[in-house]
């Protein structure tokens, strides 16, 4: 499954800090997940305090 950060993101950086594959970086207005680096582990989803990460 792929993970995506939705518009509820508050740019806190918690997801990026917990990503074991360094697949998350700050985009223009919120964090974004590089699908080529993402290993679909779900660590970002588990760590997000505002539940802004979705699985598709």
Q: How far apart are CA 20 and CA 10, in angstroms?
A: 21
Q: Over the stretch 7-56, which tens digit does the pLDDT of each residue have?
A: 999 999 999 999 999 999 999 999 999 999 999 999 999 999 999 999 98
Rounded-to-integer distance, Cα 34 and Cα 21, Å: 10
pLDDT confidence of residue 10: 98
**pTM attached to this predicted model:** 0.91
pLDDT of residue 56: 86
Number of structural domains found in the chain: 1
DSSP track, 8-55: T-----HHHHH-TT--EEE-SSSEEE-TTT-----HHHHH-TT--EEE
Residue 1 has pLDDT above 80, yes or no: no
Q: In CATH, what number is assigned to the domain containing residue 32?
A: 3.30.70.20
Hey, what are 40's tokens?
């679909």
Domain extent for 20:
3-55
């Amino acid at each position: 499954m792929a993970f995506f950060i939705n518009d509820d993101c508050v740019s806190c950086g918690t997801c990026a800090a917990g990503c074991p594959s360094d697949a998350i970086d700050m985009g223009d207005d919120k964090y974004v997940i590089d699908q080529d680096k993402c290993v679909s582990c779900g660590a970002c989803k588990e760590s997000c305090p505002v539940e802004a990460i979705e699985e598709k």
